[in-house]
């Protein structure tokens, strides 16, 4: 079986089933820079207008493999910077499905000590879900599951989420549920092809100063959802002269990754990650690629002295 035939068969099994028990959210290897995607309390935490664009191509070589594009923008409001506002857009394509998500985040931050702050956030989301069954390859034209199945066009689903984020210049811990409403994506009045369930996210990280030139930043993201495997991402990045980073990451039972980043200027940061599958699926693809670009607009009086690295 060729890899293209294998993937089309896998997609067919997923969308032709009476019920897909759970749908995992889009995943990112460089989650430490894209925290606002899953934790609304992160909005405004960087103390400036921050815009990030990220592109992820997963399982290169498999037809219909996931492709994810996201753009996020967040900023503090007012002179006190206690209130944060964020907006994000995510497009996630997998096989015959195409999903667009637009979210608005609001956060409120209070100081808990001279160095730490605690932020609370809420998220409102509009989701548009599409499935084009004409993109599927039919192995058996007499398959009864293929008869009478209609495409799904821009089916709208609202959702809400919440999170907390406790942080300083070098340490952060966050807990969030970005989508609290459990949705069922119907293709007719009886069946549905996918279901979205609550994902619980826990994120943590710290920046260790090893010398005047080298800093080490370990981070972890843990995701749990009923009906899907437990997922843990662990990473470690070394920053050199606050300009260049190299690191490795491991996704439990799934992939190992290499990461690199470059602080082009105070405002511009670019990063890249490559994932290599450690499962049998790795035999059918050449890995996953992820790249991001972040731009931050500082005011003269709030320009950071030391980069936050998250």
Of residues 11 and 47, the one with the higher pLDDT is 47
Quick check: 241 pLDDT over 80? yes
Residues whose CB falls within 8 Å of the CB of residue 135, separated by 6 or more in sequence, listed in order: 64, 95, 96
Query: What average pLDDT does range 19-31 have in this prediction?
Result: 67
In the chain, what are the domain boundaries?
Answer: 24-139+155-297
Nearest to 195 by CA among 159, 147, 149: 159
pLDDT at site 25: 73
> Does the global pTM surpass 0.75?
yes
Percent with pLDDT over 70 in the chain? 79
Q: How confident is the model at residue 61 (pLDDT cuts 50, 70, 90)?
A: confident
The arithmetic mean of pLDDT across residues 197-202, rounded, is 88
Residue that wins the pLDDT comparison between 23 and 222: 222
Q: Which is nearest to 223 in space by CA: 57, 70, 25? A: 25
Residue 115 DSSP class: S
Nearest partner of 203 among 22, 45, 23, judged by Cα: 45
Q: d(Cα 209, Cα 207) in Å, to the nearest integer?
A: 7
| Of 68, 96, 131, 134, nearest in space to 7 by CA | 96
Q: Provide the 10 A C-beta neighbour count for residue 283.
A: 9
The CATH number of domain 24-139+155-297 is 3.30.1330.10: no
232 pLDDT above the threshold of 70: yes
Contact between 70 and 89 under an 8 Å Cβ cutoff? The reply is yes
What are the distances in angstroms from CA 239 to CA 144, 168, 249, 257, 309?
Answer: 57, 18, 15, 17, 9
pLDDT in tens, 28-60: 999 999 999 999 999 999 999 999 999 999 999
- Quick count: other Cβ atoms within 10 Å of Cβ 292? 22
Predicted local distance difference test score (pLDDT) of residue 139: 65
Helix, strand, coil proportions of the chain in percent (round to 5)? 10, 50, 35
Type and span of the H or E element at 88: strand 83-94
* Residue 7 pLDDT greater than 50, yes or no: no
pLDDT for residue 112 is more than 90: yes
- CB contact at 8 A, 218 and 235: yes
What does pLDDT average to over the chain?
Answer: 84
- The pLDDT value recorded for residue 62 is 85
CB 96 within 8 A of CB 131: yes
Q: Is the pLDDT of residue 75 over 90?
A: yes
């Amino acid at each position: 079986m060729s890899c293209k035939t294998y993937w089309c068969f896998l997609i067919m099994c997923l969308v032709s089933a009476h019920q897909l028990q759970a749908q995992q959210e889009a995943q990112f290897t460089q989650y430490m820079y894209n925290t606002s995607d899953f934790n609304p309390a992160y909005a405004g935490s960087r103390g400036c207008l921050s815009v990030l664009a990220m592109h992820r191509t997963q399982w290169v070589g498999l037809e219909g493999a996931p492709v994810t594009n996201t753009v996020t923008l967040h900023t503090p409001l007012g002179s006190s910077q206690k209130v944060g506002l964020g907006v994000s857009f995510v497009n996630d394509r997998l096989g015959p499905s195409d999903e667009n998500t637009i979210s608005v985040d609001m956060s409120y931050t209070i100081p808990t000590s001279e160095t730490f702050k605690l932020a609370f956030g809420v998220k409102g989301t509009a989701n548009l879900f599409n499935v084009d069954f004409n993109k599927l390859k039919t192995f058996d034209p007499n398959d009864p599951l293929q008869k009478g199945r209609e495409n799904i066009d821009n089916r709208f689903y609202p959702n809400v989420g919440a999170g907390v984020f406790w942080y300083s210049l070098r340490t952060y811990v966050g807990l969030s549920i970005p989508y609290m409403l459990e949705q069922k994506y119907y293709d007719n009045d009886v069946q549905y092809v996918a279901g979205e369930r609550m994902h619980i996210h826990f994120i943590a990280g710290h920046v260790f100063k090893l010398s005047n030139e080298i800093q080490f930043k370990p981070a972890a993201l843990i995701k749990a959802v009923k009906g899907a495997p437990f997922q843990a991402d662990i990473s470690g990045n070394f920053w050199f002269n606050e300009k260049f980073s190299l690191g490795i990451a491991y996704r439990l039972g799934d992939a190992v990754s290499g990461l690199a980043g470059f602080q082009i200027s105070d405002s511009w940061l670019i990063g890249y990650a490559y994932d290599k599958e450690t499962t049998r699926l790795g035999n059918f693809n050449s890995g996953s690629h992820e790249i991001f670009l972040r731009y931050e607009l500082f005011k003269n009086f709030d320009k950071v002295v030391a980069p936050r690295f998250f």
